[in-house]
């Protein structure tokens, strides 16, 4: 998740996600940020950092979890998701799955509910969460 947002339910983030492909307050409005280019891997998020980022987003600092490093295209295939065309799929990512309950956002027709499992794809260079799933465990 880009810095500048309180969490996945932050109203500013939800509004941005309706308008933009990448919601990064540090990026210029026409710029899709560093995720659209091959990664400079001189600095990289390690496994412990990736788990900490996912735990923070899920709101569970002690949730047991697993993380595997792979290319973006391998992560998209594993998750069964198509990712933004603005992301260079050669970039290394961490796929993280947590064994925890998370609260969905709900909808006008349904109240938020607790679902088991949280998974995220985290860019291994920037630490940004690019994809996530509430109620999913992409890896075990």
Taking residues 55-63, what's their average pLDDT? 92
pLDDT band at 140 (very low <50, low <70, confident <90, very high): confident
Contact 129/122 with Cβ under 8 angstroms? yes
pTM, entire model: 0.72
CB atoms within 10 A of CB 62: 7
- Report in angstroms the alpha-carbon separations of 131 from 42, 62, 108, 137: 23, 21, 23, 13
Q: Do the beta carbons of residue 122 and residue 94 sit within 8 Å? A: yes
Pairing of β 129-134 and β 65-71: unpaired
Specify the higher pLDDT residue, 63 or 4. 63
pLDDT tens figures, 15-58: 766 666 566 555 444 444 667 777 677 778 999 999 999 999 99
- Give the pLDDT confidence of 86-114 residue by residue, as tens digits: 888 888 999 999 999 998 888 888 888 99
85: number of Cβ within 10 Å: 9
> What's the pLDDT at 101?
93
Measured CA to CA, the distance from residue 6 to residue 55 in angstroms comes to 13
């Amino acid at each position: 998740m880009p810095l500048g947002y309180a969490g996945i339910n932050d109203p500013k983030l939800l509004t941005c996600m309706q308008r933009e492909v990448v919601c990064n307050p540090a990026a210029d409005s026409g710029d899709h940020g560093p995720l659209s280019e091959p990664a400079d891997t001189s600095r990289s998020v390690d496994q412990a950092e990736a788990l900490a980022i996912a735990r923070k987003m899920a709101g569970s600092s002690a949730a047991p979890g697993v993380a595997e490093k792979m290319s973006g295209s391998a992560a998209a295939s594993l998750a069964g998701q198509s990712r933004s065309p603005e992301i260079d799929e050669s970039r290394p990512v961490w796929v993280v799955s947590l064994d925890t309950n998370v609260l969905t956002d709900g909808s006008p027709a349904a109240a938020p509910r607790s679902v088991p499992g949280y998974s995220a794809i985290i860019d291994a260079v920037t630490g940004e969460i690019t994809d996530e799933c509430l109620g999913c465990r992409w890896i075990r």
